[in-house]
Amino acid sequence: MGVLDDKVAIVTGSARGIGRATAELLSEHGAKVLINDLDADLAAQTASEIQGETTVFAGDLTKGDAPDRLVQAAIDAWGKIDIIVNNAGYTLDAPLHKISDDWWERMLDIHVTVPFKVIRAAAPHLREPAKQEREQGVEVFRKIVNVSSTSGTMGNAGQSNYSAGKNAVVGLTKTLAKEWGQFKINVNAVAFGWIETRLTAPKVDTNTMEIDGEKVQLGIPEQIMGMANMFIPMGRPGTPQEAAGGVFFLCSPWSNYVHGQTLNITGGQLSGMMS
């Protein structure tokens, strides 16, 4: 018996990194998981490698009605939704005065607009069952976890576009928590610090991703990587599995009275030990 048996979860950006680790952990504890990624082949491979029940929706969630089709894919597979983890994202880094309109808008699209559209599309499948349960006098908790970052909660030089998007998703989280608490839908966020993913790997020619045929550079300068033990009290970056642990908690029954919060998963870095 798993604590998430019979639960249905959507995890965006879940073919690799934190998203994959989250999907694996949810599945390990009984959830049925929809895997999403830009790369259809990688999404299918990930789904096949996860032991539990999965389905796949591949595609760019910033395009057209993709968020609606993502939600429908979960409904078509399992008929309901219990958990949404809005994890998909990437970075386009530059000093503010060098950021183009396109780079600004793309960061807001993926980090704020996509979570908004996914949640809006899922609303009938979350709210309507909850209304019936309320009439019956029973409590069934559903979960939304939005992924933010310390770049959003504290700011970060060279990431004004990314930071703005990650801060905005915290506002979205807190507002939705006020609106949907009555439906026993827990809405929380996680703010990751330095986690070992493509976004924090060395900034080298091979660390890129492709979006709309354009190569996007990922990573951070190698000289910064050696400073981890100076500003992370735990002395090292976190692993995707450690990051997924915090997300799992907010998807689990143990978080039923945790609502409208942003959980810092940072090893104590920066805001990790501030009120």
Q: Report d(CA 27, CA 48) in Å as an integer.
A: 12
Q: Is 162 an active-site residue?
A: yes
d(CA 43, CA 183): 32
Rounded CA-CA distance 86/51 in Å is 22
Per annotation, catalytic residue among 8, 15, 145, 162:
162
Say if CB 267 and CB 236 are below 8 A apart.
yes
How far apart CA 61 and CA 17 sit, in angstroms, is 18
Distance (Å, rounded) from C-alpha 53 to C-alpha 36? 14
| Contacts of 68 by beta carbon, 8 Å cutoff, 6+ apart | 117, 121
d(CA 191, CA 152): 8
**What positions carry a catalytic annotation?**
162
